[in-house]
Amino acid sequence: MTDEEKTVYKENALRKQRLFPDYNPITGEGSLEERFAFVLDGTHTVFLPQPMLSLPLLQSVKKQGGLHRYKPGKRLLKKLNLSSAEDFRIFFLRSLSALRLKYDFEYWAVKKARIKHKETRSIVPFKLDVHQRYILHALEKQRLASKPIRLIILKARQLGSSTLSTLYMQWITTQVKENWSFAIAAHNQTASNTIKRIFELSLKYGGEFHLKNLDSPLVKQITERNSVIRIGSAVKPDSLRGEDLQMVHYSEVGFWKRTKETDPEDLIASVSGSVLPNPDTCIIMESTAKSKGSFFYEEWDKASRGESSFIPVFVAWWQVQRYQIPFASTEELLRFYHNLDDYGKFLWKLGATLEGILWYKEKKSSLGNKTQKMQNEYPSTQEEAFTSIGERVFDIAYVENIKQTVREPIFTGDITADGKKEKMAFENIRFIDNIPNGNLRIWDFPDRETKMTDRYLVSMDVGGRTEKADYSVIRVIDRYWRTEGGVDEFVATWRGHLDVDLAVWKAAQIAKAYNDARLVIERNTIDSRFQKTDGVHTFTVFNELAPYYENLYADTDPQRLKEGLPTKYGFFTGSGSSSNSKQAIVDNLIALMRDGGFIEHDRQMIIECDQFVYKQDGTLGAEDGKDNHDDVIMASGIDLLVSNRLPMPCLTQNDNYSMINVSNIV
C-alpha cells in the first residue's frame, strides 16, 4: 500500500465514523444535542439533555457521584413516602424515565413513538437516523433558545423528514405543551393522509392518548391534551384554515402547484398567519427540490441569504447511512478510488465516503445514468438540488472552484460626479456609500500608487431601464497578477436598471475611476434597443462618449479601416463559430473556471452559473424564472475574453490617471 493509499484508507475510515457515529438513544450516546454524563451505577452512565441539570434532585444526585452513591436522608424518604434507599432508587429511575420523555425527544421517540419500517414493513420504535438528528438539532437549537421554531428543509428522497417533523410536533403536543394544535399539509391529499397515519400509529401504540374526529375525519382532537390536528393539502386546503394553530408542517412544498384556485404562497401565508411568533410555536417546510423559479426555491433562497425567519437545513444523500455499499476488500476499495471519474473526485472532495460514491454510481446506473434525475432526487449539494429542466452549462465542480474566493464586498454604494453625461460626468468623480442597496459593489479600490499600463479592464453587458428588463452589468478586472504569473481578479461590479445611454456613461465613470481602464461595451443590445425605438443609434451612443473617453474598445474589422469607414466601437457578439459568439465566450469561461483561470468574489456570479442552461431550443441562457438572469455571466465572459487579447500589464512612469480620491466616500 502506497503512502497515498494509506492516507485515503485512513481518511475514508474517519469519514465513516464522523458521518455515522455509534448511536444509542436510550443512553444518549451519539446525540448531537448538548448533554451531561449522569452515573447510574459503577458500569452504567446515561447522557441527559443539558436542561435537565436544572432539576434540584438530579443536581443533588449528580453532585454525590451518581445514583449508586447517593444516600437519601430520612426527611426526603418521608417526603416521598418511601421506606428505604432501594425504594428511592426504583422511584428515581421511574421518575427519570418519565422526565426524559418531556425533555428528551430522542428518548421519547424510541420509547413511545412507532413507525412502519421502510423495508420490513413491521412496526418498530422510532430510532432517529443520523440525518434526522441533523434536522432535530436545528429544531431543538431554536426551541431551547426560546425562539419560534422555523425550519426549511432541503433533502434527498425518502429521508423520513416528514416522519420526524410530524412526530416532533406530536411530542411537543403530548409532552411539552397543552392546548397546542397543529396542521399538516402536503402537495396532495394522499400524501397528507400518509403523514396522518404516522401520528395515528404512534398515538395508538403509545397508549396514553386518544384521537377523536371533530368536524370531519380531517380535523381531529387529542382529547387528553385538548389539541386539534388539521389535515389538508395544497389541492384541498379548506380543512387547514383555523384560528388557533401553534404549529404547521408543510410537506413536499417543491411539488405544490399554482392553479387558478390555489397559490402556494397565498395558502402558506394564510395558514401560517394564525401561528404567532412565540416560543414553542413551530413551522416546518420541507421538500425534495424542483427547478429554480418554484415557490419552494424562492423560500429556500431567501432563508439561505438570511432574509426570512426560517433556518435552512440541507441534507445531502452522502450524509445518509443507508446510501452506502461496502467493499468486499481493501484492494477493491483502493482500486475504486484510483478509477474515480471527475464527478467521483468531486464527491470525495466534498466529503463523501468511497462506499457512498459506490452507492451513487450504482444508483445512477439503475436510473439510466440520468444526471438530472439524480441531482433532483439525490443532490450532492444544495446548488445541485435545484436542477433545471435544461442541462446545466457550468459543471458543479467548476463552480465550486470559483466559489472558494467569494466574499462580502468592502464597499456597497454607487459612483457619481458633477454630471451624468459629457464633460461634467468626469468632474469630481466619487464613490458614495449612503445609498441603501447600492448597485456598486467593490472588493478592491483602484490602486493609485502602482503606475501600470493595461492594468484594469472594464466590461459592460447592457440591460434595460425597467425592473422587468435585464440588468445592465459593469464588471472590473484587475490584471495586475498576470505580471507575477497569476490570473485576473474581479474587483468591482455595478448591477442595476438604468436608461441605456446613462448606463454607458456610468460604465465610463467606473473605467475612469479605475485608472482610465479600457472600456468594453457589448454592442448587440444597444443596436436592438434603438432599432425598436428610433432607428439605429449605436453610432450616436458610442460617438457621444468617444470625445470624452478615449480608451474605448473597438472590435473593428481591419478591412473597414482600409476602406476608411468609421471605427465601430464596442464588443459585437457574433454567431456560429465566431470568436466573439456567445458559445465562444462561454467555452472560454468554462475552461478558466475549470483551471482556476480567474479570481471571483461576487456571489451573484455563482447564482447565475447555477441557473445557466442549455435550453430545449438549443440556445444558452438563464433558466426560465422571474428572478433568473445571466447578465453577470456575459459581462464577466466578455471581460475575460478581451483580457486575453490585450497586452501584458506593464509598469510605467506615466502619472496621467483620472483624479479621483478613493478615500473620498461621501
- Which tops the pLDDT comparison, 493 or 182? 493
Q: How far is CA 68 from CA 71, 96, 189, 443, in A?
A: 8, 14, 53, 62
**CA angle 123–128–130, rounded 5-degree value:** 140
- Looking at residue 25, what is its pLDDT? 96
| 3 state SS of 181 | coil
Q: Residue 403 CA to chain centroid, in angstroms?
A: 13
Q: What is the DSSP letter of 197?
A: H
Contact criterion met (CB below 8 Å) for 286 and 184: no
Residue 7 pLDDT exceeds 70:
yes
pLDDT tens, position by position, 363-417: 999 988 888 778 878 889 887 887 655 577 888 888 988 999 999 999 999 999 9
At 437, the pLDDT band (50, 70, 90 cuts) reads confident
Exposure string of 37-52, with b = 16+ CB inside 10 Å and e = fewer, is ebbbeeeeebbbbeeb
What are 320-344's pLDDT values in tens digits?
999 999 999 999 999 999 999 999 9
- Does residue 507 surpass a pLDDT of 90? yes
Least reliable range by pLDDT among 24-38, 138-152, 166-180, 433-447: 433-447
Cross-strand partners of 24 = 29
SS3 615: coil
pLDDT surpasses 70 at 649: yes
Enumerate domains of the chain plus CATH numbers.
1-20+323-387 (no CATH), 22-106 (no CATH), 128-319 (3.40.50.300), 411-651 (3.30.420.240)
Q: How far is CA 17 from CA 23, 130, 380, in A?
A: 11, 11, 19
Beta strands 430-432 and 411-416, pairing class: antiparallel
Cα–Cα nearest to 444, from 473, 407, 470, 471: 407
Nearest to 57 by CA among 73, 46, 42, 41: 73
Are 325 and 296 spatial neighbours (Cβ–Cβ below 8 Å)? Answer: no
| Order of strands, sheet of 391-392, starting from the edge strand that comes earlier in the sequence | 391-392, 612-614, 620-622
The secondary structure of residue 623, as a DSSP letter, is P
Give which of 264, 129, 290 is closest to 624, Cα–Cα.
Answer: 290
- Grid coordinates of 265: 404562497
Dist CA 570 CA 524 (whole Å)? 9
Tens digit of each residue's pLDDT (9 = 90 or more) over 66-116: 998 899 988 999 998 998 989 999 999 999 999 999 999 999 999 999 988
What one-character-per-residue DSSP string does 496-534 give? E---HHHHHHHHHHHHHHTTS-EEEEB-HHHHHHHHTTT
pLDDT digits (tens, 9 = 90+) for 300-323: 888 988 889 999 999 999 999 999
Contact present, 612 and 633 (Cβ < 8 Å): yes
